[in-house]
Chain A
Amino acid sequence: MADSSSAGVATGYPSQQHRARLALLLLIAPALVWLVGLIVLPHLELAVLSLRARVAPRVYEFSFNQYRTFFEEPLYWHTFVRTAGMSILATLCTLLISFPVAWYIAKIARGRSKSVLFILCLIPFWVSETVRTLGWMILLRESGVLPRLLVDVGITTMPVEMLYHDATILVGLVYTSMLFMVVPLVSALESLDDSLVEAAYDLGGDGWSILRQIVVPHAAPGIAAGSIVVFMLTLGNYLTPTLLGGKNSLWFTEQIYTQFITRFNWEQGAAFGFLLLVLSTAIVWLGLKLTRQRFGDVMRRE
């Protein structure tokens, strides 16, 4: 940097250097404002909030009490473990369902049908998440479409309540996340040279070994990128688990909501929010380590 600026001075065009730097600054300014204003500042505020305890009206002191509560109160960390577990399960289900879809779009569909399939994946997102989730409720509630159909066909004698189960939450979460898995998978699979698959087949590989040794390693950055996005979206989702899981859902974001809004305990809510950030980051880091992926590579390939 020092070299280039002195070169600029030596040739007598210092203003060009400055102008380039100013242009760069102006270009990244919106992103900086967004990052600092909406993400860094609130989180600093959250951190400060989470680390204080109210000892008297308007009197606060530094304390780890909120964090201690999380680990000492089984309900809280049980909820967190459950949320993380369900999110991992939902991510895996999304991956398993999206992979064949992405394979079909990337490798088998040609021309028009390819774009039509892609749009079909996108269309649900034209409807707001609330409406989509309410759609699931209309289908699944006791007096809803599916239970009645089951009675009519003769599979069940009485309408079954299909809402408020863990499986219902999973279905809703997978449905909401599909697109975010399909898009990175399609781009990863499209870059896979067909002749590699043919060569492996020609050399004696069968479907399963080719998938394991050729296709998945190639698509690994796409798989990791999709999984991170889906896991984070699922973990931080509030609407779907609350509406489809009802009172039994026990989703960690609900706990945060309760602390902030119902109990008006902002300190506790801030601590939960911070813990969610730290723990989810730790899980993603662990996932990348286990699959020997590097975050930088994953995001570049995306």
Chain B
Amino acid sequence: MEQDLEVDRVTKRYGPHTAVDALSLAVAHGSFFSILGPSGCGKTTLLRIVAGFLAPDEGDVRIGGRSMRGVAPNRRPVNMVFQHLALFPLMSVGENVGYGLARRGVASAEIASRVGAMLERVGLPGAQHKRVDQLSGGQKQRVAIARSLVLEPTLLLLDEPLGALDLKLREHMKIELKQLQADFGTTFVYITHDQSEALVLSDRVAVMNAGRFEQVGTPQELYYQPRTPFVAGFVGANNRFAGSAVGSDGGIVELLTADGLAVRARASGSIAAGDPVEAFMRPEVIDLARDAAELASTAQRFAGRVQSLLFDGANSAVLVREETTRAEIRIALPQTGRFADLSVDEKVTFGVDPQRAVCFRAGNHGG
């Protein structure tokens, strides 16, 4: 498949701090690629290197197969949607969208027709003469994207454009962004610290930490087959157990936490008895029951008491304290409403299929 963006062992240092560490990546034509990471992980630096605002210390960036070494941002086939959109406040919507075309020396009649067509495609027909401050947050975002896409870039970079919006609008704009990308078929590279944005929007996601990629894969792979403890902890909610391995049997590791809780989980990588390990268990893979007989026979079972109920519609969960060790475990409630009458301090049992929990050797954080 044709690669629109190839980043080849790019490194950027700030004094002793390495912001981007020998990083490589390839983004296929027409795909939606996200870089997900906590703030300060180097994702903005990487994006600015691709856009051309920063020069890498080592390595090369190729866009559409062409090396970008020494090519200024205004000469790259790349456009960027900025975090606060950076619409020109003194220009009308039409002038904003037509700015890039005017800079390329396109005739003004041609600009007017292309701006009109582009505004129609993003759902703002006839908005040319509006002032930027007359637009709503969502409309501004569409203008910012239209302003870039009218130049037909090989690559569109988006720097957390939803970060400044309120929750409701953010949910709405997520869907709109995905539809826009599907409509235009332009390759999008999106950076965010919000895992839900990355999972919902992307074809592929790179999880970034401390200047390196922890794992690159589809959202499903990251969620169900995390390859490092960082990915397991960062993508989705997760219960984490740290302790040492006491034994392993057919790919299942048994670990003992400092409090004395025994947990069995599928081993990721080779783990020997005595190794310090971390296990992760998603809230939705844990089955909750009032009676131990309801649980699957293969599951490892625990008993506990409800500590608090976290009702949130479809995302409802319950915090349970394991009886002997007082360890706190988050368990997702099933959608059936079977536990709608659950009350605090009620005795419950819960079980997990060890295959659906994952265990890593501790300390190999990869960063």
Q: Which residues of A contact B (CB under 8 A)?
A: 193, 195-196, 198-206, 209, 213-214, 217-218
CB distance from A137 to the nearest CB of B (A): 45
Contact B84 A204 (CB under 8 A): no
Given A198-B80, A199-B80, A202-B79, list of 5 further CB < 8 A pairs?
A: A196-B89, A200-B88, A202-B78, A203-B100, A204-B100
**B148: CB under 8 A from chain A?**
yes
Contact A198 B86 (CB under 8 A): yes
Contact B82 A204 (CB under 8 A): no
**B39: CB under 8 A from chain A?**
no
Contact A196 B88 (CB under 8 A): yes
User: Would A201 and B73 be within 8 Å (CB), given that A209-B103, A214-B88, A217-B90 are in contact?
Assistant: yes
Contacts of B83 in A (CB 8 A): 195
Contact B99 A205 (CB under 8 A): yes
User: Would A203 and B99 be within 8 Å (CB), given that A198-B53, A214-B88, A217-B90 are in contact?
Assistant: yes
**B51: CB under 8 A from chain A?**
yes
A200: contacting residue among B53, B78, B99, B148, CB under 8 A: B99
In the complex, how many residues of chain B place their beta carbon closer than 8 angstroms to a beta carbon of chain A? 23
B138-179: CB near A (< 8 Å → 1, else 0) gives 000000000110010000000000000000000000000000
CB distance from B98 to the nearest CB of A (A): 10
Q: What is the chain B residue whose CB lies nearest that of A206?
A: B74
Contacts of B73 in A (CB 8 A): 198, 201-202
Q: How far is the CA of A94 from the CA of B81 in the complex (A)?
A: 37
B79: contacting residue among A196, A203, A218, CB under 8 A: A203
Chain A interface mostly: helix
Contacts of B99 in A (CB 8 A): 200, 203, 205, 213
A195: contacting residue among B79, B84, B90, B148, CB under 8 A: B84
Contact A198 B103 (CB under 8 A): no
Contact A195 B103 (CB under 8 A): no
**B17: CB under 8 A from chain A?**
no
B86: contacting residue among A199, A204, A206, A218, CB under 8 A: A199
Q: How far is the CA of A205 from the CA of B99 in the complex (A)?
A: 8
Contacts of A218 in B (CB 8 A): 90
CB distance from B217 to the nearest CB of A (A): 30
**B104: CB under 8 A from chain A?**
yes
Q: How far is the CA of A204 from the CA of B148 in the complex (A)?
A: 10
CB distance from A222 to the nearest CB of B (A): 14
CB distance from A217 to the nearest CB of B (A): 5
CB distance from B248 to the nearest CB of A (A): 52
Contact B74 A199 (CB under 8 A): no
User: Would A193 and B103 be within 8 Å (CB), given that A198-B53, A202-B80 are in contact?
Assistant: no
**Which residues from 184 to 220 on chain B have a C-beta closer than 8 Å to any C-beta of chain A?**
none
CB distance from A169 to the nearest CB of B (A): 37
User: Would A195 and B86 be within 8 Å (CB), given that A202-B73, A204-B104 are in contact?
Assistant: yes
A203: contacting residue among B84, B89, B90, B103, CB under 8 A: B103
Q: How far is the CA of A205 from the CA of B104 in the complex (A)?
A: 9
Q: How far is the CA of A198 from the CA of B88 in the complex (A)?
A: 11
CB distance from B61 to the nearest CB of A (A): 15
Contact B84 A202 (CB under 8 A): no
B310-339: CB near A (< 8 Å → 1, else 0) gives 000000000000000000000000000000
Q: What is the chain B residue whose CB lies nearest that of A199?
A: B86
The 7 closest A-B pairs by CB, nearest first: A203-B100, A199-B86, A204-B103, A195-B86, A195-B82, A204-B74, A217-B90
Q: How far is the CA of A204 from the CA of B100 in the complex (A)?
A: 6
Contacts of A200 in B (CB 8 A): 88, 99
Contact B84 A193 (CB under 8 A): yes
